[in-house]
Structure 1
């Protein structure tokens, strides 16, 4: 049975300071369709801090403030997912992880065993960054690298990242009208992976750089990643359900 990890970014889940409910509903519907097609799905969801801000508009400058918002937002976000999944008769469960958990074979094994049992019973594990105790990932990554670890260590056939970026271009499409989408990427250069991270630029950290790092992590271990828009799921649906690569970028090494 094919196993897919889907990671959704906070830019997709929130809009103008609130949860983008229609996009969340569309994501849940896609996952339900994938289950009906006989696929197992693990969801890695960002958005805990943003979800918390919709309930209590604290400042977001300090780590402590962001941790507090995450503590509020994690159960709220899970409740929204559970409500939407219930419309399809699907159970979902929260799994809190941080990158540090994968440094311990014992913790990784425990987490993998729990996820295996959930999938065995048709439950969708919703992996959230444990933001309250994981400080680095509150600033860098937006769960991209975490999702790559989940895909690798939990035996997924494919990682799908749904983002505000609809694929990997040969140059920044926000700045250059002639930017071209790279539909398949077999190898990533060092300068692509080590680009400067500019927090105010969504095309950097929380943007394309950490997604390329996630893809590189998987490709070096024989894995695959598909990057597509989370605003319009037509490319993801086409690729995952129809096997047709219309848009988005597939990262994989030569077979």
Structure 2
């Protein structure tokens, strides 16, 4: 594997209306170890609104307030990442994108050139949606979709989504005790893709549906995605560093 995109959501990065520093530190340590193996790493990170909320308690349900919180929180979030990556001698860079950037060949090309240049310099690009300027028509709505586009258009070999959802199950595990995790998935039923989004955390915008849509987007383009827990990184460690598929779901095109 040459290039990896890792997406971490607000449900993992936030706890009790603040950034979960220990989880962030654990994530950074994992990425540093992956990078040490010679793999190029791109991080797609949520958490700007939550970081802003720790400094300014606006009602996060209103769009203008979320935009304001994101503008406050984004530099704070980057500062936190910067300090944690510095422990491993890694430089990070910020890139803010919107859906419109992937609708324009010119913008996509320029964004890709920036990413390629950063990776060539051993820098870790940290990508987030530009929540401050994105309008309703342009917004991805969640970083699951953004990360899938990043993985595809920036030529990654694999997208890893680390979430409060540890796998894709054959039925809703919150409603059925006998629900079983699916280890390898080649196709996703249309009814699952059309289900209602049900985010679990107060700062989250996705849920399993947005992750399935991200996987479906990549499967249709011949690419892979791995979904695992962001709270306990043991499955991510096994998959990325030990080449073992213990837990989590691998979405991979049928051979």
Shorter chain as denominator, the TM-score bin is over 0.9
Tell me how far 1:253 sits from its aligned partner: 1.1
Tell me how far 1:171 sits from its aligned partner: 1.1
Tell me how far 1:134 sits from its aligned partner: 1.6
Q: Secondary structure at the match of 1:162?
A: strand
> Structure 1 stretches of 5 or more lacking a match?
none
Q: Secondary structure at the match of 2:195?
A: coil
Q: Secondary structure at the match of 2:54?
A: helix
Q: Secondary structure at the match of 1:148?
A: helix
Contact 1:137 1:143 in 2 (8 A): no
**Separation in 1, partners of 2:180, 2:79:** 39
**TM value normalised by structure 2:** 0.95
Aligned position for 2:17: 17
Shift of the 199–237 alpha-carbon distance from structure 1 to 2, 3 Å rule, reads closer
Q: Secondary structure at the match of 1:70?
A: helix
Contact 2:235 2:247 in 1 (8 A): yes
**Separation in 1, partners of 2:61, 2:220:** 35
Shift of the 119–140 alpha-carbon distance from structure 1 to 2, 3 Å rule, reads closer
Q: Secondary structure at the match of 2:125?
A: strand
Aligned position for 1:236: 236
Shift of the 200–90 alpha-carbon distance from structure 1 to 2, 3 Å rule, reads closer
Tell me how far 1:138 sits from its aligned partner: 10
Aligned position for 1:43: 43
Aligned position for 1:226: 226
Q: Does 1:26 align with 2:45?
A: no
Q: Secondary structure at the match of 1:55?
A: coil
Aligned position for 1:210: 210
Aligned position for 2:132: 132
With 95-104 and 169-178 compared, the bigger mean Cα shift is at 169-178
Shift of the 137–234 alpha-carbon distance from structure 1 to 2, 3 Å rule, reads farther
Aligned length: 254
Contact 2:228 2:248 in 1 (8 A): yes
> Structure 2 stretches of 5 or more lacking a match?
none
Aligned position for 1:60: 60
Contact 2:144 2:210 in 1 (8 A): yes
Aligned position for 1:6: 6
Aligned position for 2:160: 160
**Separation in 2, partners of 1:159, 1:217:** 11
- Alignment of structure 1 residues 30-179 onto 2, 5 Å: 30-136=30-136, 141-179=141-179
**Separation in 2, partners of 1:196, 1:116:** 36
Contact 2:164 2:230 in 1 (8 A): yes
Contact 2:5 2:158 in 1 (8 A): yes
With 136-145 and 43-52 compared, the bigger mean Cα shift is at 136-145
Q: Secondary structure at the match of 2:221?
A: coil
Contact 1:140 1:205 in 2 (8 A): no
Contact 1:141 1:210 in 2 (8 A): no
